[in-house]
Amino acid sequence: MVKYSYTYLDEFFNLSDWAEDIKGPFGLKPPPGDWTTFRARIEELDRACAQGERVKVIYAARHGQAEHNAIMERYHCDGHEAEQYADLHDPDLTALGRSQAAATSSALQREASRGMPLPQRWFVSPLKRAGETCGIEWGWLFGDVSGAEGGAGNGGKGHGVPARVVENIREHLHVHVCDSRSSITELKSEFPSFIYPSDMPDSDTLWKSGDVRGRETEEELVSRRGRGIGEVLEMSEGVTYISVTAHSGAMRGIYKSLGVPVRPLEVGEMNVLVLRVKEVRE
């Protein structure tokens, strides 16, 4: 796999409060703070890149509220303690989670009408809550907006989005049952538009039950998500704008591997990240 180094370009977005960012252009900085100028500046920076360098814009999203999030909030507990209240294996979005994703979808459509560049590739964790969030948020581009707040549309829970599934951008591994994934057979039936790696085993071979000593360390989290974002970049060669939908812990690992200031993402939140990416040849 090609290795990369990253430079985070912080001149474009203020990552502030999501409740405010979703009302406008996702924190795009003034002046002039408009998408036409943003696109022109990205093209200018890309043209100035040396050989082996590219500018990448990542629409980085955390899934909407899922069943385990609702239980943790209700009982004021963490994911491990919440398992005593429900079977949390690969939980679905709640009605609120679908509503959060639909609100982001509406904001994306509004900003697209104002000139926001659209993703050219989509990447998603194999866990169902991330897949459905991606589908609801971007399904309008593929003519599938039905069921945005109530369930699957005509294109399944992925709403027709041709997202590529990447195991290495899934949530923090081990301990929590909610972080185990469904079989590929089941996922393909619910998300038929998604693209699955040919070597991805049908059953989950990464998640293992056990006590907290079996959980990925922070270093392992960052390393695995770094490999994941490297896979994303390899599969997005030749394009500038990409969408990545994952989880809070996974995004923390991705941000650290990219050199982006880490900030907790609320359920349903999306940040737009701009990076200069350079291939590292060994």
- pLDDT tens for 102-158 read 999 999 999 999 999 999 999 999 999 999 999 999 999 998 765 555 566 667 999
Contacts of 178 (CB under 8 A, 6+ apart): 66, 67, 68, 79, 82, 83, 88, 89, 90, 91, 171
Q: State the total domains in the chain.
A: 1
Six-digit token pair at 208? 């293992």
The enclosing domain of 228 has a CATH number of: 3.40.50.1240
Given a contact cutoff of 8 angstroms between Cβ atoms, the answer to whether 277 and 63 are in contact is: no
| Predicted local confidence at residue 81, as pLDDT | 56
The residue type at 13: F
List the one residue out of 29, 63, 102, 30 whose CA is nearest residue 272.
29
- Running DSSP on this structure, what letter comes out for residue 255? H
Q: Which domain holds residue 94?
A: 3-280
How far, in Å, are 206, 244, 259 from residue 10 at the CA level? 35, 19, 11
Percent pLDDT > 70 in the chain is 88
Full strand arrangement of the beta sheet holding 121-124: 3-8, 270-280, 53-62, 241-246, 121-124, 164-165
- Its pTM surpasses 0.95: no
What tens digit of pLDDT does each residue of 8-50 get?
999 999 877 899 899 999 999 987 779 999 999 999 999 999 9
